[in-house]
Structures are given as structure tokens and as C-alpha cells.
Amino acid sequence: MRHLLDTRTLDRATALRILDIAEDMSDTQSREVKKLPTLRGKTVVNLFFEDSTRTRISFEAAAKRLSADVINFAAKGSSVSKGESLKDTAQTLEAIGADAVVVRHPASGAPQTLATSGWISAGVVNAGDGTHEHPTQALLDAFTIRKRRFGADSRGRDLSGLHVVIVGDVLHSRVARSNVWLLTTLGARVTLVAPPTLVPQNVSLWPVTVRYDLDEALADDPDAVMMLRIQLERMNAAYFPTEREYSRRWGLDALRVRTLTGDTIVMHPGPMNRGLEISSDAADSPRSTVLEQVANGVSVRMAVLYLLLAGEREDERGGDL
Ligand code: CP
């Protein structure tokens, strides 16, 4: 794997391979000594032009647990404020020795530009670009759903027969887009639930069902309900009902959680707006996988960095793990 830019073009075999390697990585994380020597001598640069908690520290933890060196670059406080371009910034980081660049950027397509422009030769991982994609978030979500459903028998399995309901601000959500492509590639059925103003205009081209009534969607007994953050910072006020109205109609609260049956899990990629799209009761309920998603993110990102940077040393993985 040269780069990981999206899930739209990720084939089923590669996606399953990432999830299966993440299973191996997850097993190593329960050991007393978590560190593996696999990427010793490699350098991973986290190149973040937008704020992040989970994704940045998770890539940092993943790289360090594989013994790579990590350089964290945040646009805030850097020479980007003096007008330095993405090209010059990336080339500067490569000159310092980057083997892989993990990019978060407000512009949709920025990681693709870095990967295909010829500016740098390092591998590129998309850590979230505009409203376009967030592929490692979708991979860790798929990993979490698979692990909850199949436990120790997860390896090699796809998500055929499972139903995932994604709720909220689909219009602005790169997490929703990446999940739609990945979950359906893996055989899951996806239902989107949102106010009509927060559904993308081209949604009829997506392999999903769209509903506007959350209670009806929850009554379908889905395997997972994935709540999305309301991205007020990307939003025109005309798109949005009042916060009170939104919570009443599309928020997940304790009453709605109590209507869930079977093993339905409650997911959220974070950061959460507690009290808006999800109540504290729902976020902290026994059905919630919010912190499991965070922990699984480290294993999934270890798998991605491994495939990007240790491909030529693949036969050593058995020994390393
Ligand atoms: N889920 C996610 O991308 O969170 P951060 O913005 O904190 O990285």
C-alpha cells in the first residue's frame, strides 16, 4: 500500500487485510511490553492543519508502538501563518526525513494532492480532509463493529448481514462518507437519518437508504447506531433547526437508548456535543463503544502504518508480533 487516501476506492480484500492486521496489533497491545521493533528507523510526520485530539494522538501512539520516530506538526504556530504553502511545508518535512505523512487539512482533496503531485515521495495517509473523507476513522469503526459482533472469530469476516444507522450532520461529515463506502464494501446495509437540510444533494447516488425519522430507524433493530457531530463551524444557519428542535428529533437520549433491543451498539467518532446530538446518558451507557473506538483506532493505525512502511519486510511480521 503506497498511500491511504479514501475508502471509496479501497477494495474489500485490502480493507479486510487492514482489519485483520489490526487484530494482530490489538493482541500485542494487551502485552506488558506494547512496543514492536517493526518500524525502527522510519519517521512518521503528523501534518495537521486542523485541530484534533483522537486522530493525532492515536497516530502518534501507533507510530511509537511500532518504534518509528514521530514529528508532530501543527499549522498553528508554524510558518504557515507567514504564507508558506502546503508544497513547501511538505517538502521541508520530507527533507527532515519523513517516510510517511499523516495529513489533516480543511480542504477536501489536500492529501490526494500531496500523494499525486510529485512534490514528495513519502507515503500519505488521509487523517481527514474537509468534508471529503476520514478513512482511518471508518476503518476503526468497522473494526469495532466486527469485534463486537464476532469477537475472537472476527478475522477474515466482513460485515454482510449487518445494519448500521448513521445519524446526524451527514452533509458536512467526512466520517459518514468514509463509513458509507467502507461499510457497504464490506457488505453491511447502511441507513442515513438526518434533517432534510443535512442530507447531501447527490445522496441518491450513494448505496444507502435515507430516512428522516430517527425513531422509525431505531425500530429496525440495527446492529449499530452511529451518531455524528453537528459541525456548526462548517454550517450556514439556514441548514440547522434550533438546537432544542434538533435534539428532540434527531438526538440520541436515554429514552431512545431504552428502545434499543438486542446487542445494538451506540457509536460516536468524537468529539461529542453532549446534550446536542447525544445525551450524556446515551454516551456513557453500556451500549456505548465510544472509548473502544478510540482504543481500536491505535491498532487500526498501527496496521495502516505497517502496510505503508514495512511492506518490504512483510515476512518479518510473524516474528515481530
Ligand atoms: N474522530 C476524530 O477525528 O476526532 P479528532 O478530531 O479529535 O481527531
Question: Which residue puts its alpha carbon closest to atom 7 of ligand 1?
Answer: 53
Q: Indicate whether 253 and 154 sit together in one domain.
A: yes
pLDDT tens sequence across 170-186: 999 999 999 999 999 99
In sequence order, what E strands does the chain have?
A: 43-48, 69-74, 100-105, 123-129, 163-167, 189-193, 209-211, 224-227, 265-267
Q: Indicate whether 150 and 269 sit together in one domain.
A: yes
With bands split at pLDDT 50, 70 and 90, how would you rate the model's confidence at 39? very high
Q: Indicate whether 179 and 114 sit together in one domain.
A: no
User: Ligand 1 within 6 A of 106 CB?
Assistant: no
Q: Indicate whether 186 and 275 sit together in one domain.
A: yes
User: Ligand 1 within 6 A of 297 CB?
Assistant: no
> Which residue is it, cell 502504518?
305
Q: Cβ distance 167 to 260 under 8 Å? A: no
Q: Indicate whether 34 and 166 sit together in one domain.
A: no
Complex prediction ipTM = 0.98
C-alpha cell at 281: 446518558
Residue 144, domain extent: 135-290
Q: Indicate whether 186 and 238 sit together in one domain.
A: yes
Task: Give the residue-averaged pLDDT of 228-243.
Answer: 82
pLDDT number for residue 312: 52
Question: Which residue puts its alpha carbon closest to atom 3 of ligand 1?
Answer: 55
6 inside domain: no
pLDDT tens sequence across 251-299: 999 999 999 999 999 999 999 999 999 999 999 999 999 999 999 999 9
Q: Indicate whether 239 and 254 sit together in one domain.
A: yes
Q: Indicate whether 278 and 140 sit together in one domain.
A: yes
238 inside domain: yes
Number of domains making up the chain: 2
Angle, to 10 degrees, between the axis of helix 12-28 and the axis of helix 135-150?
70
CATH number at residue 115: 3.40.50.1370
2 inside domain: no
Q: Indicate whether 172 and 302 sit together in one domain.
A: no
pLDDT tens sequence across 185-234: 999 999 999 999 999 999 999 999 999 999 999 999 999 999 999 998 88
Q: Cβ distance 302 to 67 under 8 Å? A: no
Asked whether the predicted pLDDT for residue 158 surpasses 90, the reply is yes
Asked whether the predicted pLDDT for residue 320 surpasses 60, the reply is no
pLDDT number for residue 232: 84
Task: Give the residue-averaged pLDDT of 287-316.
Answer: 89
